[in-house]
Amino acid sequence: MTSEILNKKNEKAANIESSLKDALEKGKFAVTCEIGPPKGAGDEEIITTAKILKGIVDGVNVTDLQSSVMKLGSLATCHILKDMGIDPIFQVTCRDRNRLALQSDLLSAYVLGIRNILALTGDYPTTGDHPGAEPVFDLDSVQLLWAIKRLEEGYDIAGKELSKKPSFFKGAVVNPGSDTEAASGLQLIKMQKKIDQGAQFFQTQAVFDAESFEKFMDKISKMNIRVPIIVGVILLKSERMANYMNKFVPGVCVPESVIKKMEQTEDKASMCIEIATELINKVKPMCAGVHIQALGWEKHVPIILKNLDLL
């Protein structure tokens, strides 16, 4: 009976309405969004947000204790989205698990029909709401991708054979907004290492400047990198939010022109939509898709996609 249930889940995974992998492989401009699990045992927030995004995006990232804040788990949330007919992207960070737990969670995800993985190293616990928590970092994001590759080959990273091997669509992150040439060079080196270990797509950190992103993509082109790049776009809620990110978020730079637009309007939501639409239009020819981080403003995502003729 259990085997029949799992087979049905795997069939559902293969036939889901909106697939990130299919979109990228077919050359469609992919759209992904993000859901942060709630700080509590309820699923109402997840379901409400998922209903807004269902049918209009190709995948939904589920954050894994983002910013080191204790919340409902990413794996459980991905399972809820899968049951709703949405293709989840399971973010896996190395901060809180050793190599045993990481491999076990990946196998669990596969059995639950979850195929997309975004491999992350993770923020330090000192940035979150449990600053006394002990970090693990047994592996980093490059090593995690290697571990996934070993599982797909039918072995754990201790060399022990698996009874059945999984198969994932593996993603990683890159920061195109590095402050210096040296930092940008390091990003490109790490990006290549991730590709060597099996990364099949990349999502970027938040981008606000299309010209800066174009320069980064020129560097990628010269390295002959052909992996799909999905650009991260945060929906700005206010000039205060923009100034905060400029001050405290490494590698993120909100141009002064964008901040002034926010300062000069009382209708922050309309300006947010205008800024996001304009930015996505500019970067669209340079990338394979966009990752919209709505941060509670998911209700505006359909309007932005309609403006861009992406619905």
Which domains, from first to last, does the chain contain? 2-307 (3.20.20.220)
Check residue 4 and give its pLDDT: 57
Residue 5, pLDDT above cutoff 70: no
- Please enumerate in sequence order all residues whose Cβ is within 8 A of that of 225, keeping only pairs 6 or more positions apart, or say none: 191, 192, 195
Given a cut of 70, is residue 2 above it in pLDDT? no
- What are the helix and strand counts (H, E) for the chain? 12, 8
Tokens standing for 167? 């198969």
Nearest Cα to 13, choosing from 155, 144, 166, 162? 166
Question: pTM of the prediction?
Answer: 0.93
pLDDT for res 16: 52
Q: Round the average pLDDT of the chain to a whole number and report it.
A: 93
Give the residue-averaged pLDDT of 20-32: 97
CA distance 296 to 238: 13
What's CA 90's distance to the chain center, in Å? 8
Sign of CA dihedral 201, 202, 207, 210: negative
Helix axes 268-283, 210-222, angle to 10 degrees: 30
d(CA 214, CA 118): 24
pLDDT computed for residue 17 by the predictor: 45
Q: By C-alpha distance, which of 192, 80, 101, 78 is closest to 147?
A: 101
Q: What is the pLDDT of residue 155?
A: 98
| pLDDT above 70: residue 196 | yes
d(CA 65, CA 127): 11
Q: How confident is the model at residue 6 (pLDDT cuts 50, 70, 90)?
A: low
Question: What are the start-end ranges of the H helices in 133-266?
Answer: 141-152, 181-196, 210-222, 239-248, 256-263
pLDDT digits (tens, 9 = 90+) for 219-275: 999 999 999 999 999 999 999 999 999 998 877 899 999 999 999 999 999 999 999
300/232 Cα distance (integer angstroms): 16
Return the pLDDT at 63.
97
Q: How far apart are CA 212 and CA 226, in angstroms?
A: 19
- On the question of pLDDT at 7 being above 60, the answer is no
Tell me, what's the pLDDT at 8? 57
Mean pLDDT throughout 165-187? Answer: 91
pLDDT value at residue 252 = 86
* Confidence check: pLDDT of 148 > 70: yes
